[in-house]
Amino acid sequence: MKPKNGPKPDAECYYCKEKGHWKRNCSKYLADLKSGLVKKKKEVSWASSKQCTVAKSSTESEYIAASEASLEAVWMKRFIVELGVVPSALDPLIIYCDNMGAIANAQEPRSHKRLKHIKLRYHSIREYIEDGEVKIYKVHTDMMCRSVD
């Protein structure tokens, strides 16, 4: 049932269109995640959207995107393990990036003067890399999926 008052939701998950809507969609999403984690598909979850913050360079923009991807990937991995869908997921998550500067910033445990303006929440990727939960690799730009706006 759609909310009548207040702000309109941006995504379908905020309300149920009909009885069982959320259950069907959530079950399908979890099944897709399970098959992606177990069979190690290349694309499990992805989306193309505009960033909610202004970046001063393409390196910073790629760094923010990699950080947001790592947050979602680590959350999904922990959620699936907690549900018991897979017994454990010991392999690190792989994130591909086409910007060497963003990769270098993500793998650098120290902060530098040129990164001091980036919000702290985007530096979580460093912790995930240090803990071995995430690995970030270079991939050529031609091999990346195109953005769909």
For 107-129, write each residue's pLDDT tens digit. Answer: 886 666 666 666 656 667 888 88
How far apart are the C-alpha atoms of 123 and 113, rounded to whole Å? 14
Where residue 135 falls among pLDDT bands split at 50, 70, 90?
Answer: very high
> What was the pLDDT predicted at 10?
36
**The tokens of 10 are what?**
């941006």
Q: Where are the alpha helices (DSSP H) in 11-144?
A: 21-39, 58-83, 100-107, 124-131
Q: Which residues pair with 93 in a beta bridge?
A: 134
The reported pTM is 0.58
Residues 98 and 38 sit within 8 Å (Cβ to Cβ): no
Half-sphere exposure of 43 (CA within 13 A, CB side): 5
pLDDT digits (tens, 9 = 90+) for 11-68: 333 344 455 554 555 555 555 555 554 444 554 455 545 555 665 677 777 878 888 8
Nearest Cα to Cα of residue 93 among 144, 131, 119, 121: 131
CB 50 within 8 A of CB 148: no
